[in-house]
Amino acid sequence: MSLLQAFLAIVRRDLVLAFRRRSEIANPLLFFILIITLFPLGVGAQPKLLQAIAPGIIWVSALLAAMLSLDGLFRSDFDDGSLELLLLSPYPTSVLVLGKITAHWLVTGLPLLLIAPLLALLLGISERALGTLLLTLLLGTPVLSLIGAIGVALTVGLRRGGMLMSLLVLPLYVPVLIFASSAVDMATAGLPVSAQINIMVSILLLALVLTPWPAATALKMSIN
């Protein structure tokens, strides 16, 4: 089996397991929808106010929904022992970890991306800013999975590592949140957003290159 085939096999395996446990797909998505639909009840259904804070609402909701599903990235494999077999395989662990992160994004990030336009219109985001919002979600949600994988790998061996994992990854999520929300705000005002988009592309590329290796190393430390 080639390295690419091993990568695709990990992605396919995790997708099959996720569809057998449909709650892993439904819970983050329902959480995302629930936060956004309830938010107008808390601040009042004022169109101008909702439109002004809509990018922040959507992105904070996406961030929290992604964090809700992070613990399952390696937890089930750790509990049933398959994580040890993964680390003992002849293929680079970082590539296999990247496969698991890819499957995690397909299960959690992609559904958020698909439902976001409807929720954005509910909050009053203009049509000219809608494309920018979707682009920021497309670039930013994989970064949430990539960075979160390091925190999960460091805490997978702990009984109650969820709080520690949140403290580790939340500060690293702040740049994504800032630039994504800023891009949508700028698009709403009719201003160019190329600078923010370029920064988000750079963050995604850096995360793709830099996160799989420390995540794999952290997994080996947690197993040992």
- pLDDT value at position 140? 93
Helices 110-122 + 23-43 axis angle, to 10 = 20
What is d(CA 87, CA 219) in angstroms, rounded to the nearest whole number?
8
8 Å CB contact between 112 and 36: no
Q: pLDDT tens digit string along 202-216?
A: 999 999 999 999 988
What pTM value is reported for the model? 0.89
At 86-118, the pLDDT tens digits run 888 888 888 989 999 999 999 988 989 999 888
Give the pLDDT confidence score for residue 204 in this predicted structure.
95
Read off the tokens for 64: 């929290």
pLDDT at 207: 93
Domain ranges of the chain: 3-223
pLDDT at res. 161: 63
Where the chain has pLDDT below 50, the residues are: none
Whether 120 and 130 have beta carbons less than 8 Å apart is answered as yes
